[in-house]
Chain A
Amino acid sequence: MSEGEQVKKGKGTVFVQTEVCKGCSYCIDFCPAHCLEFSRDFNRKGYHYPVLGRPEDCTGCDLCGLYCPDFAIFGVRFKDLEKRKQPAPEPLIPARG
Chain B
Amino acid sequence: MSETDLLELEIENPVASYLRQERLPHIWCPGCGIGTTVNCFARALTESAMDLDRVAIVSGIGCTGRVAGYLNLDSFHTTHGRAIPFATGLKLGNPDLKVVVYSGDGDLSAIGGNHLVHAARRNMDLTVICVNNFTYGMTGGQVAPTTPIGATQTTMPYGNFENPFNLPFLADACGAVYVARWTVYHVKQLAKAMLEGLRKKGFVFIEALAPCPTLYSRRNRLGDGVDQLKYYKEKSKIVNGADTKDVGLTFQGDIVVGRFVDRERPTWLDAMNEHYSQHFGEKYVPYGVSHGQD
Contact = CB atoms under 8 A, between A and B. Distances in A.
11 contacts: A4-B1, A13-B1, A17-B13, A24-B225, A65-B39, A66-B39, A70-B25, A71-B13, A71-B15, A71-B38, A81-B11
A22 B1 contact: no
Interface of B: 1-3, 5-6, 9-11, 13-16, 19, 24-26, 28-36, 38-40, 43, 184-185, 187-188, 191, 224-226, 229-230
A71 B36 CA distance: 8
A69 B11 contact: no
B40 A66 contact: yes
Contacts of A81: 9, 11
Nearest to B230: A29
A1 B14 contact: no
Interface of A: 1-2, 4-5, 13, 15, 17, 20, 22-26, 29-30, 47, 62-63, 65-71, 73-74, 76, 81, 84-85
A67 B1 contact: no
A68 B225 contact: no
Given A69-B225, A71-B16, A71-B38, 11 more contacts: A15-B11, A20-B25, A29-B230, A66-B43, A67-B36, A68-B36, A69-B34, A71-B15, A71-B19, A73-B13, A76-B11
Contacts of A29: 226, 229-230
Closest 3 CB pairs of A and B: A69-B35, A22-B30, A24-B31
Contact of A25 (B5, B40, B185, B224): B224
Given A20-B24, A74-B14, A69 B6 contact: no
A80 to B, nearest CB: 8
